[in-house]
Structure 1
Amino acid sequence: MNRLGSTLMLSAALLLGATSAAQAALPDKATLYMNPECGCCGEYARQLEARGVEVKVIDDVEVGRIKQRVGLPYGHGSCHTIQMGGYAIEGHVPFEAVETLFEERPDTRGIGLAGMPIGTPGMPGPKQGDWEIYQFRDGEAKPFMTL
């Protein structure tokens, strides 16, 4: 094999390895709690499954109780709550932030994105401004990352 061929194969292997490492940071399973009438939550679950996560959807529970149980700060809620890998993920958090959570494993109860911002996973339309992802513990929120 010539030098160019070897370089291309090495580059491709490194690129595939980096992609696998980012996805490998996500847990294998997640539970998504949602209202049964919400279509965007189901779309978020499908996009998470496309990243190799098996998602169990529970739509027959009072979602507000789940939010209280995980310690979500008042006023920071969204339409669904996910529990995976020991963390809670509130709402349509972009997958870059979810991957960062599992790569860094900070001492927090979870991360979230309040509301249902257009352009986030599961929400149609183009992105409109920055997304302020927060982390939370015991009902208190602080910044996690901006995308």
Structure 2
Amino acid sequence: MKQTPTRRRALHLLATAAAVTAGLSSGLPALAASPAQTPIEVWKDPNCGCCKDWIVLMEKAGFAVTVHDTGNSAMRTKLGLPARLGSCHTALVGGYVVEGHVPPADVHKLLQQKPKALGIAVPGMPVGSPGMDGPEYGGRKDPFDVLLVTKNLMNSDVSTKVFTSYRS
């Protein structure tokens, strides 16, 4: 059967469309299935290296981080978290406060469970916690707890309970 230029062009277009469709079907579902990044805002000192390390871990865990290099004490106070629960950086995600070196998995857990709480915190800067686990610590891992922080709306009392324990 002799192919006319029109028929040749039509067959070429069909073949091209089939190839493109095959390529898209193998590559795009993975992109379409990847979840959107969760926005998180972080307040920290501009010179804090462990905060930068924690931010990198959060980005790798699917968070879109906006950084405010203005320190975090004023924001921590504004968000209602007592200084006794403080650390070197304060974050806000999904309406929750995240204070300190909280593992990204616990932030995801918080957002999935949606407890009635102010947020979660890892007070201080425990060695071995996310961002405090670089080579300069020689593999040391101190035990720590991620605390669920609740606030009594009647009297503004803040209380905590263990959300996740890292004691092994």
1:51-71 superposed Cα distances (whole Å, 9 cap, x missing partner): 1211011002x4211011111
What CA distance in whole angstroms lies between the structure 1 residues aligned with 2:113 and 2:85?
22
In structure 1, runs of 5+ residues without a counterpart are 1-19
- The normalised TM-score by structure 2 is 0.66
Residue matched to 1:13: none
1:145 equivalenced with 2:154 (yes/no)? no
Aligned residues: 123
Q: 2:146 aligns with which of 133, 138, 144?
A: 133
- The normalised TM-score by structure 1 is 0.75
Residue matched to 1:63: 72
* Structure ranking higher on relative contact order (CA contacts 8 Å, 6+ apart): 1
What CA distance in whole angstroms lies between the structure 1 residues aligned with 2:145 and 2:79?
20
Alpha-carbon RMSD across the aligned residues, in angstroms, is 2.1
1:122 equivalenced with 2:131 (yes/no)? yes
Residue matched to 1:7: none
What CA distance in whole angstroms lies between the structure 2 residues aligned with 1:103 and 1:118?
27
Give the secondary-structure state (helix, strand or coil) at the position aligned to 1:71: coil
In the TM superposition, structure 1's runs of 4+ consecutive aligned residues that sit over 6 Å from their partners are: none
**Aligned residues: percent identity?**
33
1:87 equivalenced with 2:106 (yes/no)? no
Decide which structure has the larger Cα Rg and report it. Answer: 2
